[in-house]
Amino acid sequence: MTSATAPRIAVPARTVHRFVEVDGVEVFYRESLPDHPDAPVVLLLHGFPSASHQFRRLMDALGRTHRLIAPDYPGFGHTRTPDGYGYSFERLADTLEGFVEALGLTRFAMYLFDFGAPVDFRLALRRPERIAGLIVQNGNAYAEGLSDAAREFTALTPDTPGADEAVLGLFTLEATRAQYEGGTERPELVAPEGWVLDQHFLDLPGRKEAQRALAYDYKSNIAAYPRWQAWLREHRPPALIVWGGRDPFFPAPGARAYLRDLPDAELHLFDTGHFALEECVPEIAPLIDGFLARVWG
């Protein structure tokens, strides 16, 4: 076969895997190596119970034209956390702010997903001048984006009868798999490696205690919704909303609610669940590519 007739193949991006020290935390992160040094920068913040590996396919698809950076939070993935680290969403934001500083990031778009949304919004409130745009994927910031099950779960306190049993029940392989497959149209497109790897990390020493603390702290995010919404109204960042409309935890009204404060945002709902990239990355990646081309200039 000659070169003239050889089939064209999409060559995935090269990705490096590193640690950086931030106030005693060894933060693990993945970073794509784009072909151009001035490529748009995107901070990809993962959800529960996952880690940066959830973005591997997106990084393969877009990493040659964009600098994609995906860290693991303390208590997740490969990140190493010292004894005595206090797990709260505010503390995670402190560590991620230090991570941004350590990498010298001065302008970037943010990918808001699940737990990543409360971390990202805290970073945005602290450093609004650095935010070039938002990519929102099942990252909630509105009361109507909470399902009845989410409201009940996030209302739990350590003193609620049966609360620990309910929280710890979320850290099982069955529950982890259900988060990946729940709401999907074609579950056979969801690779099992995701939930198996998540469960491996959840079962490491000390991880369930860290996740228990964050579960009880989640109500601090709901209390912060008005501040996040005010930030959106004030700064009007360009936004792309790509949402799994069958998410049993953060349903579609949470996606539409963003349009109240960001009426110019671009909204796409997909017939899939919480981990929308697992089933719909071929549809979502081009939308992100086009959005970044517009906002980065």
For Cα atoms 58, 204, 154, give the angle at the middle one, nearest 5 degrees.
70
Rounded Cα–Cα distance for residues 253 and 241 (Å): 12
Cis status, amide bond into 71, omega within 30 of 0 = no
CA distances from 226 to 83, 118, 145, 293, 294 (A): 34, 12, 13, 30, 28
The amino acid present at 212, given as its one-letter code, is R
Phi-psi region of 84 (alpha: psi -120 to 50; beta: other; left: phi over 0): left
Short-list 134, 131, 115, CA closest to 54: 115
Catalytic residues: 274
Instruction: Supply 230's token pair.
Output: 């005010």
Question: Could you please report the per-residue DSSP string of 219-269?
Answer: HHHHHHHHHHHHHHHHH---EEEEEETT-SSS-THHHHHHHHH-TT-EEEE
Rounded Cα–Cα distance for residues 265 and 137 (Å): 13
Bridge partners of 29?
A: 18, 71
Contact 74, 204 (CB under 8 A): no
**115: three-class secondary structure by DSSP:** coil
Rounded Cα–Cα distance for residues 258 and 161 (Å): 35
Question: Could you please report the per-residue DSSP string of 187-208?
Answer: GGGS-THHHHHHHHHHTSTTHH
